[in-house]
Amino acid sequence: MIRDQETMQILLDSIRSFVNEALIPREEEVAETDEIPEDIVSQMRDMGLFGLTIPEEFGGLGVTMEEEVNIAFELGRTSPAFRSFIGTNNGIGSIGILLDGTEEQKATYLPKLASGEILSSFCLTEPDSGSDAASLRTTAVRDGDHYLINGTKRYITNAPHAGIFTVMARTDPEIKGAKGISAFIVEATTPGITIGKCDKKMGQKGAHTADVIFDNVRVPSSALIGENEGVGFKTAMKVLDKGRLHIAAIAVGAAERVLEDSLRYAMERKQFGRPISDFQLIQAMLADSKAEIYAARCMVLDAARRRDDGLSVSTEASCAKMFATEMCSRVADRGVQIHGGAGYVSDYAVERFYRDVRLFRLYEGTTQIQQVIISRNMIREAQQ
Ligand code: COS
């Protein structure tokens, strides 16, 4: 639901200008230095981009899901590393606190996340627990009015920059599956936390992931999200339902950017005495990409509106994530094809996007996990 179309349009216009004028010209620099420049981070803070989704009472903009995906369509048009830097505060790093945290936890952490004073990271994945998230082994053992956390989390986005981690850990080792898991807010300065070396990724330079190792990390019982044991897995799943819609929207934006670049190239590049956009085989690739982007955009908007209406969107978020991210890879592949040899060298952004967007089909649940969720929900509904 868009609350005020006019205000929203002003925000979208300012984000579009920021992307076009401040971010796109710095993409190469980010790819080369593997860092988001500090002046860009500070502009993002000034624009309120760290707190887009955090309610106004905690200092954020409190955007609805429909507003959020519209913003993500714009932010998706540049290197995903920029979005990644603000992404955890707006998504997987804050939503657990927002949805299931106590009033005190919200009041303590959300204002700092909204302002960008601190970053947050979501610690679910482990070396031996990826798609099978409920098999995680990190433990949080009660010790008086504290918990002792031990375990290793893997591929944690923004870990080297995080001020807090939301950590899924097993509080009841007797229960092997989801019900033994609880969620905690762990401050990064707590003794016993080590951040591993940054992962050397295929793409998305400037977005940092690393291991987070917890060695007898002692946190007060007030760090337990919602002060409620055994519901941490459900918190994580709810967080991902929302996160997946956001990633789907980012994938739409990235595909639009690749198509814009490909169309421009096709109209400029001449072969056989004519721009290659005159050739029907090139036109077919442009048209297929256009139609698929349009379909994904419609799916994302529909799922976002349903969520704003208070409906469960587990199925729709997975459908949108699966379709939009697979679509984005196809569009990027066609983009390289349209650019020909030029698409394989780094003079053109399409080469970088081709690698960057590959991650969309993996994180926040692989395409195959989305298929599992969609089909399971279908079977469950049919059985009822
Ligand atoms: N919202 C709320 N609750 C949910 C939920 C959702 N979207 N999905 C599952 N749950 C609940 C279930 O209802 C169940 O609770 P009850 O036993 O009380 O009914 C509990 O959580 C366990 O669910 P389920 O039995 O479906 O768990 P599984 O172990 O079978 O795993 C999948 C489910 C595969 C969907 C899950 O492990 C998953 O999403 N894996 C991918 C993880 C991922 O995306 N990782 C990316 C890294 S994070 S960036």
CATH number of the domain bearing residue 330: 1.20.140.10
Q: Is the CB of 99 under 6 A from ligand 1?
A: no
Per-residue buried b or exposed e for 52-73, using 16+ beta carbons within 10 Å of the residue's own CB? bbbeeebbbbbbbbbbbbbbbb
Per residue in 290-312, pLDDT (tens digit) is 999 999 999 999 999 999 999 99
Shared domain for 147 and 93, answered yes or no, is no
Give the whole-angstrom CA distance, residue 234 versus residue 226. Answer: 12
Which pLDDT score, from 0 to 100, does residue 250 have? Answer: 98
Above 90 in pLDDT, residue 332? yes
Q: Is the CB of 133 under 6 A from ligand 1?
A: yes
Shared domain for 291 and 192, answered yes or no, is no
- Hey, what are 133's tokens? 């998230």
Give the whole-angstrom CA distance, residue 249 versus residue 361. Answer: 13
Nearest atom in ligand 1 to 124's CA: 48
Residue range(s) defining the domain that contains residue 13: 5-115
Shared domain for 151 and 264, answered yes or no, is no
Distance (Å) from CA 362 to ligand 1 centroid: 16
Q: Is the CB of 363 under 6 A from ligand 1?
A: yes
Q: Does the active-site annotation cover 68?
A: no
- The Cα-based distances of 10 to 14, 15, 233 in angstroms read 6, 9, 38
Shared domain for 261 and 367, answered yes or no, is yes
Which pLDDT score, from 0 to 100, does residue 318 have? Answer: 98
Enter the DSSP assignment of 350.
Answer: H
Task: Kindly report the pTM of this predicted structure.
Answer: 0.97
Nearest atom in ligand 1 to 134's CA: 29
Least confident of 112-116, 170-174, 231-235, 302-306: 170-174
Give the whole-angstrom CA distance, residue 352 versus residue 341. Answer: 14
Closest by CA to 150, choosing from 123, 132, 178, is 123
Shared domain for 111 and 125, answered yes or no, is no
Nearest atom in ligand 1 to 240's CA: 44
Per residue in 30-79, pLDDT (tens digit) is 999 999 999 999 999 999 999 999 999 999 999 999 999 999 999 999 99
Closest by CA to 125, choosing from 196, 31, 42, is 196
Closest by CA to 73, choosing from 247, 259, 261, is 247
Give the whole-angstrom CA distance, residue 67 versus residue 233. Answer: 27
- Where is the domain boundary, 66, 82, 115? 115
Shared domain for 216 and 289, answered yes or no, is no
Nearest atom in ligand 1 to 238's CA: 1
Which pLDDT score, from 0 to 100, does residue 271 have? Answer: 98
Give me the chain's average pLDDT, please.
97
Give the whole-angstrom CA distance, residue 35 versus residue 370. Answer: 31
Distance (Å) from CA 340 to ligand 1 centroid: 42
Closest C-alpha residue for ligand 1 atom 8? 237
Which pLDDT score, from 0 to 100, does residue 2 have? Answer: 83
Shared domain for 206 and 247, answered yes or no, is no
Q: Is the CB of 78 under 6 A from ligand 1?
A: no
Closest C-alpha residue for ligand 1 atom 29? 134
Q: Is the CB of 371 under 6 A from ligand 1?
A: no
- Where is the domain boundary, 230, 255, 275? 230
Closest C-alpha residue for ligand 1 atom 22? 178
> Mean pLDDT over residues 130-143, rounded?
97
Shared domain for 245 and 375, answered yes or no, is yes
Sign for the pseudo-dihedral over CA of 280, 286, 291, 292: positive
Shared domain for 251 and 368, answered yes or no, is yes
Per residue in 251-283, pLDDT (tens digit) is 999 999 999 999 999 999 999 999 999 999 999
Which pLDDT score, from 0 to 100, does residue 1 have? Answer: 80
Per residue in 363-376, pLDDT (tens digit) is 999 999 999 999 99
Q: How many other C-beta atoms are found inside a 10 Å radius of the C-beta of residue 337?
A: 14
Number of domains in the chain: 3
Shared domain for 188 and 63, answered yes or no, is no
Shared domain for 140 and 167, answered yes or no, is yes
CATH number of the domain bearing residue 30: 1.10.540.10
Shared domain for 131 and 247, answered yes or no, is no
CATH number of the domain bearing residue 134: 2.40.110.10
- Hey, what are 96's tokens? 């657990």
- Where is the domain boundary, 230, 247, 279? 230
The two beta strands, 162-170 and 119-123, are parallel
- Hey, what are 309's tokens? 């209406």
User: What residues pair up with 274 in beta bridges, in sequence order?
Assistant: 271
* Helix or strand (DSSP H, E) at 278: none
Q: Choose the catalytic residue: 67, 126, 364, 381.
A: 364
